[in-house]
Structure 1
Amino acid sequence: MFGLTALDIENLNQDEQAWDALVEEFSEYRQIWRQRGVMPMLRALMTARHIAENLLATRAASGA
């Protein structure tokens, strides 16, 4: 859903700066959720992470 491969996740595990950036990104989503609600947070997350595009690409690749 987030478009990360196992290698991407392993690289995050090895790269402290990248991990810290990801933690900060998700802290911002938490702040949006608390201040504006879940829907604005989901919109921000889906936009930043291209989730709709990833889901459509996955669906197209599976032949659905």
Structure 2
Amino acid sequence: MTTTPGWQKSSYCGEGESCVHVAATPATLHITESGDPAGSILTAAPTAFAALLRTLKTESPRG
């Protein structure tokens, strides 16, 4: 039996902006954009997603 993951909106999303939504299952993370939530869903293993976040934090101009 497959269950639909519960989506959470990014805490960095302001009102009226296009937002990133994330959902987790035990072995997979799902990421989508609020402008087209069912259109494109990125799926990643938790370790790959953690590596992406580390890279973004390291290379971010704000970071």
Bigger strand fraction: 2
TM-score under structure 2 normalisation? 0.32
Higher relative contact order (CA 8 A, sep 6+): 1
